[in-house]
């Protein structure tokens, strides 16, 4: 019998995990599963959690398990995915709330959960990750440090809207800077009330995939069309882009205000300075206390932090009484 035809994993199961950076190798008895960026070896399955480039391998190294949305988003990156999608009963992809189609990996029967990039917050069209009780949790720690606190999402969006509305009312222009996939679509929707909304071409490519999967993003003009039609010479427009250099050039040429939308703005010292100079902590990741709450709600007997501020988060979790560790690189761990 082929290993992927197994319906259930047997009682006596040996789970081993090895971290390769932004990828993991999971062994369930003799079955081998590559997760995200694993660029060597061959595996029974290759599980891709989401379509951000830092998680994508150069090639798929086993039977592909991912969401249809992720497969379509990978295509936009000119990485043809010819493989068919597979399902296996004991590896369950669950919504991780990060970007369209993003999935955490649950090994049944709740033995292990790997969150990958995760966000538990419902926001605009995105549904947040819902914690599940598991034996072992492997969680990300991108913002696993106490100064990364984003505040309540509704309040944050209120602040963004009133701040940007004021700027536009005064005839100012806005360059909204954020990643092209995930943040780009949140920003497109967030500014859909603006009559002159321009989005960078790459953002528009990803927007189309979101729209194909039923996400309404409103009306916008692509960067090339807006440039051709001279829209940047008008007043009170919003331009959504991921390109820092272009953002600076456009801002200088058309006296626009650059606003960054990322959790990293929390690194600055005070809130006003942060908003004026940098922007808003609107993120597709969990903030520090979101991560802690995910751990609390999953009630794991052991937690590993895969990447990010692993030491800081592990130390805080240990203070709370959890058996928490950073996940060492290139070292096989038996669970
Ligand atoms: Zn990501």
| CATH number of the structural domain spanning residue 166 | 3.40.50.10890
Closest CA to 41 of 333, 334, 330: 330
**Residue 8: HSE in the Cβ half-sphere, 13 Å Cα cutoff:** 5
The torsion defined by the Cα of 220, 222, 228 and 234, in degrees rounded to 10, comes to 40
Q: How far is the CA of 98 from the centre of ligand 1 (A)?
A: 7
Kindly state whether residues 142 and 11 are assigned to the same domain: yes
pLDDT of residue 58: 92
Q: How far is the CA of 212 from the centre of ligand 1 (A)?
A: 21
pLDDT in tens, 123-154: 999 999 999 999 999 999 999 999 999 999 99
Ion ligand 1 neighbours (CB, 5 A) are 52, 117
Q: How far is the CA of 51 from the centre of ligand 1 (A)?
A: 7
Kindly state whether residues 103 and 160 are assigned to the same domain: no
Count: domains in the chain = 2
Kindly state whether residues 22 and 132 are assigned to the same domain: yes
Kindly state whether residues 312 and 212 are assigned to the same domain: no
Kindly state whether residues 215 and 142 are assigned to the same domain: no
Kindly state whether residues 16 and 134 are assigned to the same domain: yes
Q: How far is the CA of 182 from the centre of ligand 1 (A)?
A: 8
Q: How far is the CA of 221 from the centre of ligand 1 (A)?
A: 26
pLDDT of residue 248: 95
pLDDT of residue 1: 36
Dist. CA 220–CA 137, nearest whole Å: 41
Residue ranges making up the domain that contains 217: 153-280
Q: How far is the CA of 208 from the centre of ligand 1 (A)?
A: 19
Q: How far is the CA of 301 from the centre of ligand 1 (A)?
A: 26
Kindly state whether residues 143 and 207 are assigned to the same domain: no
Kindly state whether residues 137 and 269 are assigned to the same domain: no
pLDDT of residue 277: 66
Kindly state whether residues 258 and 294 are assigned to the same domain: no
Q: How far is the CA of 261 from the centre of ligand 1 (A)?
A: 15
Kindly state whether residues 96 and 194 are assigned to the same domain: no
Kindly state whether residues 191 and 254 are assigned to the same domain: yes
Q: How far is the CA of 125 from the centre of ligand 1 (A)?
A: 17
Kindly state whether residues 175 and 291 are assigned to the same domain: no
pLDDT of residue 122: 98
Q: How far is the CA of 73 from the centre of ligand 1 (A)?
A: 12
Give every residue of the chain whose pLDDT is below 50, as ranges: 1-5
Q: How far is the CA of 320 from the centre of ligand 1 (A)?
A: 27
Q: How far is the CA of 162 from the centre of ligand 1 (A)?
A: 28
Domain containing 9 — which CATH number? 3.60.15.10
pLDDT of residue 3: 45
């Amino acid at each position: 019998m082929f290993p992927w035809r197994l319906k259930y994993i047997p009682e006596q199961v040996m789970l081993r995990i090895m971290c390769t950076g932004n990828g993991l190798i999971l062994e369930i008895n003799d079955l081998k599963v590559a997760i995200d960026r694993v660029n060597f070896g061959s595996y029974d399955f290759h599980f891709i959690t989401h379509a951000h480039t830092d998680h994508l391998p150069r090639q798929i190294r086993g039977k592909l398990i991912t969401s249809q949305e992720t497969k379509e988003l990978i295509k936009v990156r000119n990485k043809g995915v010819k493989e068919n999608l597979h399902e296996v009963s004991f590896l369950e992809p669950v919504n991780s709330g990060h970007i369209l189609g993003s999935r955490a990996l649950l090994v049944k029967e709740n033995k292990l959960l790997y969150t990958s990039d995760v966000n538990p917050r419902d926001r605009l069209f995105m549904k947040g990750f819902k914690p599940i009780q598991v034996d072992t949790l492997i969680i990300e720690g991108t913002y696993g440090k106490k100064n990364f606190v984003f505040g309540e999402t509704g309040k944050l969006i209120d602040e963004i809207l009133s701040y940007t509305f004021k700027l536009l009312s005064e005839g100012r222009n806005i360059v909204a800077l954020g990643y092209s996939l995930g943040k780009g679509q949140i920003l497109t929707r967030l500014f859909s009330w603006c009559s002159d909304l321009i989005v960078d071409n790459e953002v528009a490519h990803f927007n189309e995939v979101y729209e194909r999967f039923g996400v309404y993003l409103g009306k916008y003009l692509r960067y090339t069309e807006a440039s051709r039609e001279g829209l940047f010479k008008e007043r009170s427009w919003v331009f959504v882009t991921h390109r820092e250099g272009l953002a600076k050039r456009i801002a200088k040429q058309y006296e626009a205000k650059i606003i960054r939308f990322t959790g990293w703005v929390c690194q600055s010292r005070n809130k006003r300075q942060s908003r004026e100079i940098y922007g808003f902590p609107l993120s597709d990741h969990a903030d520090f206390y979101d991560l802690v709450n995910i751990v609390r709600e999953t009630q794991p007997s052991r937690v590993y932090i895969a990447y990010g501020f692993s030491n800081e988060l592990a130390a805080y979790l240990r203070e709370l009484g959890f058996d928490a560790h950073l996940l060492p690189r290139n070292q096989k761990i038996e669970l």
